[in-house]
Amino acid sequence: MAHDHRSLAFPTLRKDSAAPKRRSEWRAVGMLVPYLWEFRFRVAIALAFLTAAKLANVGVPLILKDVVDSLDAQTAVLVLPLALLAAYGILRFSTTLFAELRDVVFVRVTQRAIRRVALTVFRHMHSLSLRFHLERHTGGVSRDIERGTRGISTLLTYMLFSIVPVILEFSLVAAILLTKFDWRFAAVTFVAVALYIAFSVAITEWRMEIRRQANELDSKA
């Protein structure tokens, strides 16, 4: 069976193969969806903790603003500033607490996905003919598999806990700016975020091209 282990490595980025490569990357993301669906209850709890952490994080500066406003020299009652200060501390603590609980709940999903994908690839490797193992560099294939399993954790974590939180937090901040300030504040924030996203995507594409070439060379070594 004529298989080349280099097909498992990341290809060198070229303009004429950019579209098929992106489709392949989206297929790889789609292959992980069943593992998320299997633990959908844990994923839902992790997303709930994530939402709570972001709500608490957005509420921190609002409470701090109320604390500062309540510390008026003409205010004789200290109950309100103390209560707001306590609420500020609770929100700061809740931000860290919910983020840690999110990681505790989601770690089993990540590790189970890594285990199942690794076992699937391992069984496939053992189902190949002896000719494949004699003619191909099995060590390079092993390194490809190792990089792939490590990438699962990174992909799931960034997909759920980096992209989704940024969208959620930006929406909350934009809503607060629109309701409490002039619309131009929200517009400036939107433009800044859009420029940051465009810059991040461009730099990531550039870094990934170098990373794919490094992976190819490592597999051939």
pLDDT of residue 139: 67
Q: 59: how many CB neighbours lie within 10 A of its CB?
A: 19
Q: Please write the tens of the pLDDT for every residue from 146-173.
A: 777 777 777 777 777 777 778 888 888 8
CA 108, CA 106: separation in Å to the nearest integer? Answer: 5
Mean pLDDT of 80-93: 80
Q: Which residues contact 58 (CB under 8 A, 6 or more apart)?
A: 169, 172, 173, 176
Question: Taking CA 66 as the corner, what is the angle to CA 64 and CA 72, rounded to the nearest 5 degrees?
Answer: 115
* Statement: residue 12 has pLDDT above 60: no
CATH of residue 214: 1.20.1560.10
Range of the domain at 181: 5-220
Grade residue 221 by pLDDT with cuts at 50, 70 and 90: low
CA 151, CA 109: separation in Å to the nearest integer? Answer: 14
CA 32, CA 28: separation in Å to the nearest integer? Answer: 7
Q: Please write the tens of the pLDDT for every residue from 100-136.
A: 888 888 888 888 888 888 888 788 877 877 777 777 7
pTM confidence score: 0.62
The number of distinct structural domains making up the chain is: 1
The angle, 0 to 180 degrees and rounded to 10, between the axes of the packed helices 40-70 and 18-38 is 90
pLDDT of residue 11: 41
